[in-house]
Amino acid sequence: MNPPWPPRGLYAITPDETDTDRLLARVEVILAAGATWLQYRNKAADGALRATQARELLTLCRRHGVPLIVNDDWRLAAAIGADGAHLGEDDGEIAAARDALGDAAIIGASCYDDPELARLAAASGASYIAFGAFFPSPTKPNARRATLDLLRDSAPLGLPRVAIGGITPDNARPLVEAGADLLAVISGVFDAADPAAAVRAYLDCFDARPVHSPSTTDISTP
C-alpha cells in the first residue's frame, strides 16, 4: 500500500533551474499555495547537482506535507529517500523501481497517447498513469498528443490518472471532467506572474481542493 497522499489536485513539476537557492524559493511559493504533489525534474543539471537539489527539495516537501517524486531516476529517489519516482518509457522497468523503492513508494508511468502502455504500467505495479500532451506544451513542443478518451477509457484500471501538457486553468476543467485526478504543470505555475494565484486557479478546477494531511485518502498499488 502507498502512503495515503491525496490523489487529486495539482502535480507541480520543477523547471530546469540550476540555482538551487532560487529553485527552493520558487518551489516554496508553490507548496505554500497548496500544490498537491511535487516532481523534481531538471534536464539541465548534472548528477551531483540533481542529488543536491533533490535532497533540499525533499526537506522542503516534508515541511509542507507534500510527496516528492523524482523524474526519470528511481535510483536517485531511492538514494535520498524520496516518496517515489516517475518513469518514462526509456527510464527502466516499473517492477525494478518497485522492488527498490518498496510497496509504499509512489511510482508513476508516462503513457503518452497509448492505452496499452497504461495497461502494462498497471500490471507492473505503477501507482498512477500519466497521459499527454493534451495541449501544445512549451516544455515539449513535439510531444505526442493525447485525447480525453484516454482518461475516460483508462478508468477501469483503477489508478489515479495524471494529465500533462500545456494545461492552463482555462482548459483544465474538461480534463478533470474526463477523469484526470492530477493536473501536471510546469510553466503554468512556475512562469506565472503570480505563481500562488496560479496554483489556486488550478485547484479551483476540481470540485474540492485536496487536503495535504496524509490521513484520509489512499492510493493502492495493484
Owner of C-alpha cell 498499488: 221
Annotation says 43 is catalytic: no
**Secondary structure (DSSP) of 116-167:** HHHHHHHHHT-SEEEEE-SS--SS-TTPPPP-HHHHHHTGGG-S-EEEESS-
Annotation says 140 is catalytic: yes
Owner of C-alpha cell 504500467: 121
- Residue 209 confidence (pLDDT) above 50: no
* 20-48 pLDDT, tens digit each: 999 999 999 999 999 999 999 999 999 99
How do 9-13 and 37-40 pair as beta strands?
Answer: parallel
The cell for 55 is 535532497
Q: What DSSP character marks residue 69?
A: E
Catalytic pick among 8, 41, 98, 161: 41
**The model's pTM:** 0.90
* 152-205 pLDDT, tens digit each: 999 999 999 999 999 999 999 999 999 999 999 999 999 999 999 999 999 999
Low-confidence winner among 10-14, 74-78, 210-214 (lowest mean pLDDT):
210-214
Annotation says 154 is catalytic: no
Rounded to an integer, the average pLDDT of 63-85 is 97
The amino acid at 187: S
d(CA 116, CA 76): 28
Catalytic pick among 110, 127, 137, 154: 110
Residue 199 is predicted with a pLDDT of 98
Q: Does residue 44 or residue 212 have the better pLDDT?
A: 44
